[in-house]
Copies of this chain bind each other. A is one copy, B any other.
Amino acid sequence: MRRLLLLFFCLPIMAQAQVNQDSVMIKKMADEIMTNGKAYDLLRELTKKIGGRLAGSPQQQNAAIWGKRNMEAFQPDKVFMQPCKTPNWQRGGKDFAAVVGINGRATTQKLEVLALGNSLGSNGLVEADILAVANFEELEKRKDEVKGKIVYFNSEFDPTLVQTFRAYGAAGMYRRSGPSRAAKYGAVGVMIHSLSSAPDNAPHTGAMVYDEAQPKIPAVALGPTDAKALYALAKKITVRAQMQTYGFYLPDADENNVVAELKGTEHPEEIITIGGHLDSWDVNEGAHDDGAGVVHTMEVLRTMKALNYQPKHTIRFVLFANEENGGKGGAKYTELAKLNKEKHILALESDEGGFTPRAIAVSCTPEQLAYFQTWTPLLKPYGTEVTTGGGGADIGPLTGYDKSIIISSMIPDSQRYFDVHHAKTDVFENVNKRELLLGAVNIAAFIYLVDQHGVN
């Protein structure tokens, strides 16, 4: 009875002591990052000295070398490369589009455009009347009108969706499959409204995928202002347009995932992975997408070493080679994890920008979620809570070989992400230092808690 009573009273006390110890360690990491953090300076280097990093470009190869050199300087137990083949898409020239006729009257109004990533060149100037449709439903209804036309899809964001990733999810299918859906009915080109939330006219590129059964027609995204004006016009009257693009593929390129590792002291065979992707589109500096995730990853490593933290589990810090147009970096990481029979317990990706962190999202069972959510009071002082639904394109494949792996992600505030995502405006100047560093704080805190207490 006395022992039972003792146990009864001691358990909460022990738990409280653990919470206090966690709270102290998280505060130490936070202070280290907010005071001495290198993420912002590293991001300046990556964006300003290296620049845009499309897979296959010399910049992307330099970025991997830069990542390896910088992570080595933090002196983890090891740093290694994982060579992988990536697509090598080339924009090939300056994309062009213009309105050249309005109701039969000639005009010349240049449009702000970018060819969609993976799309092929137009082989010269394509000129045709516009068929403007709101969505795939209208395309299907009007399929008999498509032949010989340039189809415009009004893939504008729904502004009432508070989480902009939901608006992106809904509009994204027009970028990905719009070209082949229109080609099926004889379209000669496709234009879409940029997948953007910005009140500006910067066009946003991004990956599309051709249906191999259809003609591979050229496809561009229009700047938001031009897109809205074109749609308003083309819904009512005949608009004739020109477009010219130059996309083509070189043979696959040799790139590398860069992996740093801290060896676990208690469970070295159990791996926790965090990462972001090194590659970006060609038209910007890839500052938020995904320079932020890259430097978040490096900052957490730096901080753990600076505080001489010795993890119980092995922690991997991964800069993935290729996410944007092929996902070959994540695929290679998973392929090797499977080959080497590695046991991953949790992976976290940061690929939603360097904005103020709002949540750590975790894809797991309801019981596991309830367990992780007991950590929310420890994260809340730094701005986040644990929510459901995390993942990422680079770590997602891991669940394909081992369903028990928990995938998670840093969820920053989403309001500004699609203002700059895949547009020329995704540059270092649009990243805020404190917001970026706070992201690293919350990732470090969550990974520390996973390392200390496991995934239940």
Residues of A that sit less than 8 Å from B by CB: 30-31, 34-35, 40, 159-160, 162, 164, 197-199, 356, 381-383, 413, 415-416, 419, 432-435, 438
Contacts and interface: CB of A to CB of B under 8 A. Distances in A.
B199 A164 contact: no
B199 A40 contact: yes
A40, A164, A199, A382: which has the most chain B beta carbons within 10 Å?
A199
A78 to B, nearest CB: 32
Contacts of A381: 162
Contacts of A438: 162, 415
Nearest to A36: B159
A303 to B, nearest CB: 13
Contacts of A197: 434
Contact of A419 (B159, B162, B415, B432): B432
B160 A413 contact: no
A35 B434 CA distance: 30
A199 B37 CA distance: 13
B415 A164 contact: no
| Leading 10 A-B pairs by shortest Cβ distance | A415-B434, A34-B159, A31-B160, A415-B435, A34-B160, A356-B413, A199-B433, A356-B415, A416-B432, A35-B159
Contacts of A31: 160
Nearest to A32: B160
A164 B35 CA distance: 14
Nearest to A383: B162
Contacts of A162: 30, 34, 381-383, 438
Contacts of A356: 356, 413, 415
Contact of A160 (B30, B160, B198, B415): B30
A421 to B, nearest CB: 13
Contact of A415 (B30, B198, B432): B432
A199 B435 CA distance: 12
Contacts of A433: 198-199
